[in-house]
């Protein structure tokens, strides 16, 4: 999936991404990088709102899984089940979230479980960067649901 395709899809299906000014910087089978400007994500201190930083990291993780499943020809219903976010320093401008699988070797098990059980879990990690420095880290567990999958909340 090309960056422009993914960006269009995200903006159409996750309206918050458009309001945040999210753009797709890079996408391949190993990683997805999303970027957001400070303007629509600013807090009362003139830095990025923590919720926006967290949302960008979750969205990058979701986008990574979406593009990998799409490339495999698997229709997806992806939701975030749990996550942790660590903020290491204030974000003073445009910021990027780069997401990768925590354990890429688990991908075949993930897709096999999804095909067999209609539900599978996998962990994603993301690094938040601003001005060439790491400003935060994210880890999250996502669940993919088949057509008859159960009702979990999430993005």
The interaxial angle of helices 3-13 and 50-71, nearest 10 deg, is: 120
What's the pLDDT score for residue 150?
A: 44
Would residue 151 count as lying in a domain? no
Residue 128 lies in a domain: yes
150 falls within a domain: no
**Contact between residue 125 and residue 102 where contact means Cβ atoms under 8 Å apart:** yes
- The answer as to whether 95 is a domain residue is yes
Domains in the chain, number: 1
pLDDT, position 76: 74
Mean pLDDT in residue range 92-114: 97
Q: Answer with the residue of higher pLDDT: 46 or 75.
A: 46
Give φ, ψ of 126 to 5 degrees: -140, 150
| Whole-number pLDDT of residue 153 | 39
Q: Give the domain extent around 43.
A: 3-145
Domain CATH for 58: 3.10.129.10
112 lies in a domain?
yes
């Amino acid at each position: 999936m090309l960056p422009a395709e993914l960006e269009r899809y995200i903006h159409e299906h996750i309206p918050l991404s458009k309001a945040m000014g999210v753009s797709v910087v890079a996408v391949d089978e190993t990683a997805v990088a999303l970027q957001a400007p400070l303007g629509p994500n600013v807090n009362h201190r003139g830095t990025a709102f923590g919720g926006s930083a967290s949302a960008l990291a979750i969205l990058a993780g979701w986008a990574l899984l979406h593009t990998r499943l799409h490339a495999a020809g698997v229709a997806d219903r992806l939701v975030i089940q749990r996550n942790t976010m660590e903020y290491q320093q204030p974000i003073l401008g445009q910021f990027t979230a780069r997401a990768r699988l925590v354990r890429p070797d688990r991908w075949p098990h993930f897709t096999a479980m999804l095909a067999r059980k209609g539900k599978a879990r996998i962990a994603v990690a993301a690094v938040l960067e601003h001005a060439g420095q790491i400003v935060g880290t994210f880890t999250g567990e996502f669940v993919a649901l088949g057509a008859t999958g159960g009702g979990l909340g999430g993005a």
